[in-house]
Amino acid sequence: MQWNELIRDVTSAAQDAPSEVAVTGVEYDSRLVQQGSVFVAMRGGTTDGNHYIDIALSRGAVGIITDSAEAFGALAVSHSKTPRLLVEHGRNALAQAASAFFGHPERVLGATGVTGTNGKTTTTFLIESLLNAARRSSILVGTIEYHVAGQVRLSAHTTPESRDLFELMADGVALGATELVMEVSSHALDQGRIAEVDLDLAVFTNLTRDHLDYHHTMDAYFAAKQLLFDGTRYPAPRVAILNADDAHSQQLATAAKEAGAEVITYGLGRAASQPEWYAEDLKLLPSGVKFTLVTPVGTAQVNSGLAGEVNVLNLLAALAAAYARGVDFDTLIASVPSLRPVPGRFQPVDAGQPFTVIVDYAHTDDALRNLTALARQLVHEKLGRVITLFGCGGDRDRTKRPKMGQAAGEGSDFVVVTSDNPRSEDPAAILAEILPGVEGSGVRFVVESDRATAIQLALAEAEPGDVVLIAGKGHEKEQILRSGPIFFDDSQVALSALRSLGYGGVK
Based on the domain organization, do 219 and 260 belong to the same domain? Answer: yes
The pLDDT confidence band at residue 271, using thresholds 50, 70 and 90, is: low
Could you give the 3-state DSSP secondary structure of residue 24? coil
Last residue of a domain, one of 289, 320, 338: 338
Q: How far apart are CA 19 and CA 263, in angstroms?
A: 46
Q: CA 156 → CA 160, 161, 164, distances in Å? A: 7, 10, 10
Q: Which range has the worst mean pLDDT, 20-24, 43-47, 273-277? A: 43-47
The DSSP symbol for 4 reads H
The CATH code of the domain that includes 373 is 3.90.190.20
pLDDT surpassing 90 at residue 270: no
Domain assignment present for residue 153? The answer is: yes
Structurally, the chain folds into a number of domains equal to 3
Based on the domain organization, do 126 and 168 belong to the same domain? Answer: yes
What whole-number percentage of the chain has pLDDT above 70?
98
Give the mean pLDDT of 7-27.
92
Could you give the 3-state DSSP secondary structure of residue 201? strand
The CATH code of the domain that includes 77 is 3.40.1390.10
Domain assignment present for residue 423? The answer is: yes
Q: Which range has the worst mean pLDDT, 259-263, 269-273, 427-431? A: 269-273
pLDDT tens per residue across span 349-382 = 989 999 999 999 998 898 899 899 889 988 866 6
Based on the domain organization, do 310 and 272 belong to the same domain? Answer: yes
Give the mean pLDDT of 256-265.
98
What pLDDT score was predicted for residue 272?
66
Q: How far apart are CA 436 and CA 419, in angstroms?
A: 16
Based on the domain organization, do 126 and 256 belong to the same domain? Answer: yes
Q: Tell me, rounded to whole angstroms, the distance of Cα 110 from its chain centroid.
A: 19
The pLDDT confidence band at residue 488, using thresholds 50, 70 and 90, is: very high
Based on the domain organization, do 332 and 376 belong to the same domain? Answer: no
Comparing CA positions, the residue from 66, 70, 58, 67 lying closest to residue 30 is 58
Q: What is the CA radius of gyration of the chain?
A: 24
Last residue of a domain, one of 291, 318, 338: 338
The CATH code of the domain that includes 152 is 3.40.1190.10
Give the mean pLDDT of 121-137.
97
Domain assignment present for residue 506? The answer is: no
Give the mean pLDDT of 340-349.
86
Q: How far apart are CA 353 and CA 499, in angstroms?
A: 9
* Boundaries of domain holding 233: 105-338
Domain assignment present for residue 73? The answer is: yes
Phi first, then psi: give them for residue 68, nearest 5 degrees: -115, 115
Based on the domain organization, do 358 and 219 belong to the same domain? Answer: no
Based on the domain organization, do 207 and 271 belong to the same domain? Answer: yes
The pLDDT confidence band at residue 214, using thresholds 50, 70 and 90, is: confident
pLDDT tens per residue across span 410-454 = 999 999 999 999 999 999 999 999 999 999 999 999 999 999 999
Based on the domain organization, do 109 and 179 belong to the same domain? Answer: yes
Q: What is the mean pLDDT of the chain?
A: 93
Single-letter residue type at 106 = E
CB atoms within 10 A of CB 440: 13
What pLDDT score was predicted for residue 382?
63
Q: DSSP E strands: which ranges in 88-213?
A: 110-115, 138-141, 145-148, 151-154, 179-183, 201-204
Domain assignment present for residue 507? The answer is: no
Q: How far apart are CA 127 and CA 121, in angstroms?
A: 10
The pLDDT confidence band at residue 103, using thresholds 50, 70 and 90, is: very high
Could you give the strand order of the β-sheet that contains 347-348, starting from the edge strand earlier in sequence? 347-348, 356-360, 467-471, 386-390, 414-417, 444-447
Give the mean pLDDT of 327-345.
93
pLDDT tens per residue across span 168-207 = 999 999 999 999 999 999 999 999 999 999 999 999 999 9
Based on the domain organization, do 132 and 280 belong to the same domain? Answer: yes
- Give, for 48, the enclosing helix (H) or strand (E): none
Based on the domain organization, do 125 and 63 belong to the same domain? Answer: no
What pLDDT score was predicted for residue 461?
97
Give the mean pLDDT of 257-271.
92
pLDDT surpassing 80 at residue 384: yes
Comparing CA positions, the residue from 304, 481, 458, 472 lying closest to residue 395 is 481
Domain assignment present for residue 256? The answer is: yes
Comparing CA positions, the residue from 60, 52, 53, 54 lying closest to residue 33 is 60
pLDDT surpassing 80 at residue 81: yes
Last residue of a domain, one of 306, 338, 370: 338
Based on the domain organization, do 295 and 187 belong to the same domain? Answer: yes
- pTM here is 0.85
Domain assignment present for residue 258? The answer is: yes
pLDDT surpassing 80 at residue 507: no
What pLDDT score was predicted for residue 329?
97
Q: How far apart are CA 357 and CA 384, in angstroms?
A: 13
pLDDT tens per residue across span 472-487 = 999 899 999 999 999 9
Length of the chain: 507
Based on the domain organization, do 316 and 453 belong to the same domain? Answer: no
Q: CA 233 → CA 13, 94, 181, 380, distances in Å? A: 19, 16, 20, 48
